[in-house]
Amino acid sequence: MREVLQLLRDGEFHSGEALGAALGVSRAAVWKRLEHLEAELGLTIHRVRGRGYRLASPLSLLDREAIAAASRSAGWDALVFDSLDSTNAEVLRRLAEGAPAPLLVLAERQESGRGRRGRSWVSPFGENLYYSLGLRLEGGAFALDGLSLSVGLAVARALQEAGVVDVGLKWPNDLLVGGRKIAGVLLELSGDPAGACQVVIGIGVNVNMLPGAAVAIDQPWTSLRERSGQLVDRTELALLLGCWLRRYLERHEREGFAALREEWESCHLWQGREVSLLAGAQRIDGIVLGVDRQGALRMDVAGQERQFSGGELSLRLRDDS
Ligand code: ATP
Ligand code: BTN
């Protein structure tokens, strides 16, 4: 499957004959493989008589060797899959089976990518980054407080270095550009948070997906490619993300989120804004003051400072702000 995709990934026309010769199979076998790609991976392949086959859009596939080499030098194990239910789920399964950590898992697509609070994360083949890093933590050695905020900051730095200069954070860990979501972070934990536990840091970045792609996303979103107008090398972005994650995770481990608090606030898009905090059916209106040393949201609610934390909370701008 990868072989034929490697040939087609430029988005240019390739004749059935040329593909057959490169793959060492008949033209009929080429046609079968392409049908399989369309059915299995949801890719669109155009066929034009006399010209051959081409992908509807060029693809930047993950370079497994480059990822393995960079991960080795970071001391991480790394696995790249064509397709998974969810990279977070795969990391949790492997760690539960005793796999060594840190463990990085990437996939070309996810069939059940997950977002916060049971939402699904749209994960088409070859378009975006679906990136999960699993860590084993021993009691209190690594503060979980604010960890997802530190990760958000690392993702923001990686995106800035990749040219998305105006990316910012929305508490707790959304990354937005011009009010549109470009990336999200989902931390999942197993074991005892106060003792031996495993945490998986899941990061989804919209990289080459373009509006008009047949995806159902129920809020404004964007991608690196939409911002730059160019196909982005997903491997380069994954490596960049790894560098920034290492840097921020080390800092977080050494000094805790408290050391990153001010920097986080300087990237927070909604500092000082009038917001509503939603917790199920409950809604609390206030003004964002910032975050505390544990990453909890600080809000001025009717003239009094209050702190809020927990995975079930959602922040929205007040319509009138
Ligand atoms: P909050 O955390 O404040 O509730 P949120 O509305 O962004 O923010 P999340 O659960 O964090 O909710 O993220 C999931 C949402 O992100 C989806 O409901 C969708 O609107 C948006 N989104 C942007 N890009 C994607 C993507 N590739 N796949 C799925 N959802 C995406
Ligand atoms: C959010 O809701 O904003 C968080 C989205 C996190 C998506 C990533 S993609 C890689 C990893 N695997 C998953 O199933 N989810 C996370």
Residue 7: CATH number of its domain: 1.10.10.10
Return the pLDDT at 145.
85
* Residue ending a domain, choose from 221, 247, 265: 265
- Same domain, yes or no: 112 and 226: yes
- Buried b / exposed e over 64-100, threshold 16 CB at 10 Å, is eeebeebbeeeebbbbbbbebebbbbbbbebbeeebe
Asked whether 115 lines ligand 1 (CB < 6 A), one says yes
184 is written with which tokens? 């999200």
- Same domain, yes or no: 95 and 119: yes
- Same domain, yes or no: 274 and 260: no
- Same domain, yes or no: 129 and 32: no
Nearest CA, atom 9, ligand 2: 204
DSSP, res 209: -
Nearest CA, atom 7, ligand 2: 204
Return the pLDDT at 74.
94
- Same domain, yes or no: 126 and 196: yes
Q: How far is the CA of 14 from the centre of ligand 2 (A)?
A: 35
- Same domain, yes or no: 82 and 207: yes
Asked whether 158 lines ligand 1 (CB < 6 A), one says no
Residue-level pLDDT, tens digit, the chain, 321 residues: 788 988 999 999 999 999 999 999 998 998 898 998 888 888 889 999 889 999 988 999 999 999 999 999 999 999 999 999 999 999 999 999 999 999 999 999 999 999 988 899 999 999 999 999 999 988 766 688 899 999 999 999 999 999 999 999 999 989 999 999 999 999 999 988 778 889 999 999 999 998 876 678 989 999 999 999 999 999 999 999 999 999 999 999 999 999 999 999 999 999 999 999 998 889 999 999 999 999 999 999 999 999 999 878 999 999 755
Range of the domain at 25: 2-55
Return the pLDDT at 141.
63
> Alpha-carbon dihedral of residues 85, 90, 93, 94, nearest 10 degrees?
150
Nearest CA, atom 2, ligand 1: 314
- Same domain, yes or no: 159 and 71: yes
Ligand located closest to 81 CA: 2
Q: Measured between alpha carbons, how far is 201 from 317 in angstroms, rounded to an integer?
A: 27
- Asked if 224 and 232 count as a contact pair (C-beta separation under 8 A), the reply is yes
- Same domain, yes or no: 240 and 275: no
- Same domain, yes or no: 110 and 255: yes
Nearest CA, atom 3, ligand 1: 314
State the total domains in the chain. Answer: 3
- Spot the catalytic one: 54, 109, 114, 116: 116
- Same domain, yes or no: 186 and 312: no
Q: Measured between alpha carbons, how far is 264 from 169 in angstroms, rounded to an integer?
A: 8
CATH of the domain at 296: 2.30.30.100
Ligand located closest to 311 CA: 1
Query: Angle at CA 153, nearest 5°, toward 150 and 158?
Result: 130
Q: Which of 62, 90, 105, 114 to mutate to test the pocket of ligand 2 (most atoms within 8 A of CB)?
A: 114
- Same domain, yes or no: 186 and 230: yes
Ligand located closest to 155 CA: 2
Q: Measured between alpha carbons, how far is 97 from 107 in angstroms, rounded to an integer?
A: 20
- Same domain, yes or no: 234 and 289: no
